[in-house]
Amino acid sequence: MKSTAYLDHAATTPTRPEVIAAIAEELAVGGNASSLHTSGRAARRVVEESREAIATALGCGPSEVIFTSGGTESDNLALKGTWWHRHTHDARRRRLIVGVTEHHAVLDAVEHLVTQEDAEVDWIDVDALGRSDPDQVRALIERDPGSVALVSLMWANNEVGTIQPIAEVATVAHEFGIPMHTDAVQAIGQVPVDFAASGVDLLTASAHKFGGPQGAGLLLARRDVALTPLTHGGGQERQLRSGTLDTAGIRGMALAATLATGSLGAEQEKLAALRDKLIRGALDLGLDIEVTGAHEVGDVTTRLAGNAHLRVPGCDGDSLLYLLDAAGIECSTGSACQAGVPQPSHVLLAMGISEDDARGALRLTLGHTSTDADVAAALEALPAAIDRARRARSASRNGR
């Protein structure tokens, strides 16, 4: 069987072995954390110990951790929950100020509020490197501060890996008494994330991006932030997220967060070295490949250590993806949630990249299982895949 080089950690990173063992152990025990008998209390103990472990890993208080099913639910609770509450209590607060390159979990929640509710949205632009300017956020707020319900800007971009000035934007928002949310799904385990130090009021995370299980996530929410819940029922999680808690998934997520943040420095160094080798090797192929975003050697402050985003002129990204997959290289053209969607990436378009160039995008992302062999395999497979993809595109355009 052909060996596979997995270079799609931004979509999901393999569950850590220790996490798998912890989840399996918990699944064998059972117990509903809302029950009052012995099994229920045991499950509740696991949940609360996990909450404390996550608080330690992410620099927040245990009571600020709200467990959810993942990043999408957390983003929706943050965006819709804040807007509903603030707009209900002050009808003037209709505006959302949101990053233009956000994940669709944020963008589609915003679209719902705009098309189905009474919301308005102003977009935070990005420059050619994908970075937003806190001064633009200030200018957008100053147009009418009393109309703003929430500012939302992702910590690190899921496609091109750009790290945003979150603390600076949070400072601006708070000058006007406006809460701020950040989607930090891609950041945890790749950059230092300290909820208290960042100044944000709401933070989204998803376990499967840092070595935990799929289907487990969290929203960090300061105690003084008021949210309207998306669901109603048993009143779990500060009455903000009703439903029986996934004790095993929560235990696995907490362990993954502890492991990912505990090894952060060494992991950043390892991934940045692999990323730089991958980028340098791709550029040295002489195939006119271009790099999207900042790509200084060793940089882990403006670009995620594990992100290498390439653009290959004359190729359709999907064709290139399938050809690489056939060669044993698993990667993506962008967000896994948008896989198979024929439109060019909204992130690349917002960065000023043309539609034609954006169609040749290739996202290769590294993680805790990545090795030099993975990078070497990708570089070996690229020339033939690019040649075939270019010939296929040329033939398609010529009607053959």
Report d(CA 76, CA 206) in Å as an integer. Answer: 13
Report d(CA 330, CA 22) in Å as an integer. Answer: 28
Radius of gyration of the chain (CA): 22
Please tell me which residue in 60, 315, 331, 337 is annotated as part of the active site. 337
Least Cα distance to 151 among 130, 112, 191, 123 occurs for 123
Q: What is residue 133's three-state secondary structure?
A: coil
Least Cα distance to 55 among 211, 186, 223, 244 occurs for 223
CA dihedral (95, 97, 103, 104) in degrees, to 10, reads: 20
Report d(CA 269, CA 6) in Å as an integer. Answer: 19
Can you say how many angstroms the Cα of residue 14 is from the centroid of all Cα atoms in its chain? Answer: 16
The sign one gets for the Cα dihedral 83, 112, 144, 173 is positive
What is the residue whose two structure tokens read 């420095």?
A: 265
Task: Report strand pairing: 307-311 vs 361-365.
Answer: antiparallel
Specify whether 337 is catalytic: yes
180 sits in which H/E element: strand 180-183
Report d(CA 41, CA 23) in Å as an integer. Answer: 18
Report d(CA 158, CA 6) in Å as an integer. Answer: 17
> What residues have CB less than 8 Å from 48, skipping those under 6 apart?
62
Report d(CA 44, CA 171) in Å as an integer. Answer: 36
Q: What is residue 396's three-state secondary structure?
A: helix
Assess contact for 18 and 255: CB atoms under 8 A.
yes
Assess contact for 10 and 307: CB atoms under 8 A.
yes
Q: What is residue 67's three-state secondary structure?
A: strand
Residue 43 backbone dihedrals phi, psi, to 5 degrees: -65, -40
Residues involved in catalysis: 337
